Amino acid sequence: MKILTSLAVISLAGLVFSAPTKDDNDGEKLIVTKSMFDKELVKYTGSHDIVKILLPLNSLNFDEDDSSESKSHSNESDSDDIILFFVEADIDSDGKYVDQGLYVLKKGNATKILNHGRDAAAASDNSTEVFFAAADGIYTYNKQKNTAEKYGTIDDSIIGIVKESGSDVIYILTENHEVYKVLNKGTKKEKLDDVVNAKQIVLDPSNNLYFYSDDKKPYTRTHEGVKKIEGLPDNLSSQSSVTLVKPPFMIKDGVVFVVENNVYIIYANGTSEEAGFEFKPKAKPSAYAPEAALLQYYALDKKIYEFNVLTMLMSDIVDELKEFLNNKSEDIKSISKKSRFSHRQNA
């Protein structure tokens, strides 16, 4: 399973369109280059940087009980029914974000639904709920009206939001870097005193929280408390950027951590490992959505790209890549079976 964890799929996808590039020092590492972001994969082009993407893995997109035959017979490559959320911002010279709005992308049509929206979250369950962090509190998605509606009574300026699976608990990160647990339908908040000066928060599928602080070192907060992640380069604080990314759903107790151009998986037990991928500086995404594994979205240079692995497997590919994918076909099959869209393939 390890082979297809993290951003493996982006590399598989990219390899379809260009020969693999091997790192001379490390034959195992795949280098993600700009040519892998083919213009045919562009789903949306904006006029600001895209700083967040959310692909909800809930019934909004993957309805397990959907009995409508049309869906099961639809083309595997058809991702037109997918609903994505994304956030645009301008990044000023101090690295500060200037809000440019939260959008919903539906049938190729992007609609700005929240001017000061900054982040989006959804649980992986059978709900259709999506929550948004905004400059004046929490909002929720109204699917019928395709709008954002105020949720609860909290009015903090929020920059990050995550939603637990299997409960109604939400965690928010405020602009002054405090993290709160939000309960009772958005009417009650409790400060997490053990999460200090967080810059970003992410949840894994087992509801463990991850964050990093000024020194850019990541921590995990589980039912056992807060733990430092070991095994990462010790010069993290001198790196210009680190980013926590929601993992592909098969990683149950870990998340992705991008350090400069290198990709790691960090686990709830405090360990970490290299994912085996590196971005060329010009190919480093500004936002990541690998959570569905077989259908991934990345933002680069104000565009959102879609990487649909199954489509790519069916297309004509070079021999070298065919061998690469054949070697991994068991992993891909196993992911496909576990995937929330497996019902489409098996139909």
Ligand X SMILES: *[C@@H]1O[C@H](CO)[C@@H](O)[C@H](O)[C@H]1NC(C)=O
The binder of ligand X chosen from 45, 72, 115, 327 (CB under 6 A)? 327
Q: How far is the CB of 331 from ligand X (least distance, A)?
A: 12
- 235 lies in the binding site for ligand X (CB under 6 A): yes
Q: Which of 165, 155, 154, 140 is nearest to 188 (CA)?
A: 154
CA distances from 138 to 104, 167, 255 (A): 16, 17, 24
Q: How far is the CB of 174 from ligand X (least distance, A)?
A: 29
Contact range with ligand X by CB under 6 A, out of 36-44, 197-205, 211-219, 323-331 = 323-331
Beta carbons of 74 and 110 less than 8 angstroms apart: no
Closer residue to ligand X in complex, CB, 249/267 = 267
Contact range with ligand X by CB under 6 A, out of 29-37, 167-175, 221-229, 233-241 = 233-241
Q: How far is the CB of 128 from ligand X (least distance, A)?
A: 8
* CB-count burial class (<10 Å; 0-12, 13-18, 19+) for 199: middle
The binder of ligand X chosen from 72, 206, 238, 329 (CB under 6 A)? 238
Q: Tokens in use for 171?
A: 């965690």
Classified as helix, coil or strand, 229 is coil
Pairwise CA distance, residues 339 & 179, whole Å: 31
Closer residue to ligand X in complex, CB, 75/144 = 75
Which positions ≥6 away from 285 have C-beta within 8 Å?
279, 298, 299, 300
- 253 lies in the binding site for ligand X (CB under 6 A): yes
Query: Torsions phi, psi of 343, nearest 5?
Result: -60, -25
> In the Cβ-directed half-sphere of 141, how many Cα atoms lie within 13 Å?
27
The binder of ligand X chosen from 167, 233, 241, 282 (CB under 6 A)? 233
The binder of ligand X chosen from 46, 324, 331, 342 (CB under 6 A)? 324
User: Within positions 99 to 158, which residues make up the interface with ligand X, using CB under 6 A?
Assistant: 107, 109, 111, 126-127
The binder of ligand X chosen from 157, 213, 239, 261 (CB under 6 A)? 239
Pairwise CA distance, residues 2 & 328, whole Å: 11
The binder of ligand X chosen from 68, 70, 75, 346 (CB under 6 A)? 75
Q: Tokens in use for 135?
A: 């400059």
Q: How far is the CB of 57 from ligand X (least distance, A)?
A: 14
By DSSP bridging, strand 272-279 and strand 26-32 are parallel
Q: How far is the CB of 167 from ligand X (least distance, A)?
A: 13
- 277 lies in the binding site for ligand X (CB under 6 A): no
The binder of ligand X chosen from 26, 224, 323, 330 (CB under 6 A)? 323
Q: How far is the CB of 20 from ligand X (least distance, A)?
A: 8
Which positions ≥6 away from 46 have C-beta within 8 Å?
88, 110, 302, 303, 304
Closer residue to ligand X in complex, CB, 83/159 = 83
Closer residue to ligand X in complex, CB, 72/126 = 126
Pairwise CA distance, residues 299 & 52, whole Å: 8
User: Within positions 31 to 60, which residues make up the interface with ligand X, using CB under 6 A?
Assistant: none
The binder of ligand X chosen from 35, 45, 72, 77 (CB under 6 A)? 77
Q: How far is the CB of 240 from ligand X (least distance, A)?
A: 8
Number of residues in contact with ligand X, rule: CB under 6 A? 19
Contact range with ligand X by CB under 6 A, out of 173-181, 189-197, 232-240, 275-283 = 232-240
Beta carbons of 335 and 2 less than 8 angstroms apart: no
Q: Which of 194, 183, 193, 192 is nearest to 138 (CA)?
A: 183
In eight-state DSSP terms, residue 287 is E
Interface positions with ligand X (CB under 6 A) = 75, 77, 107, 109, 111, 126-127, 233, 235, 238-239, 253-254, 267, 269, 271, 323-324, 327
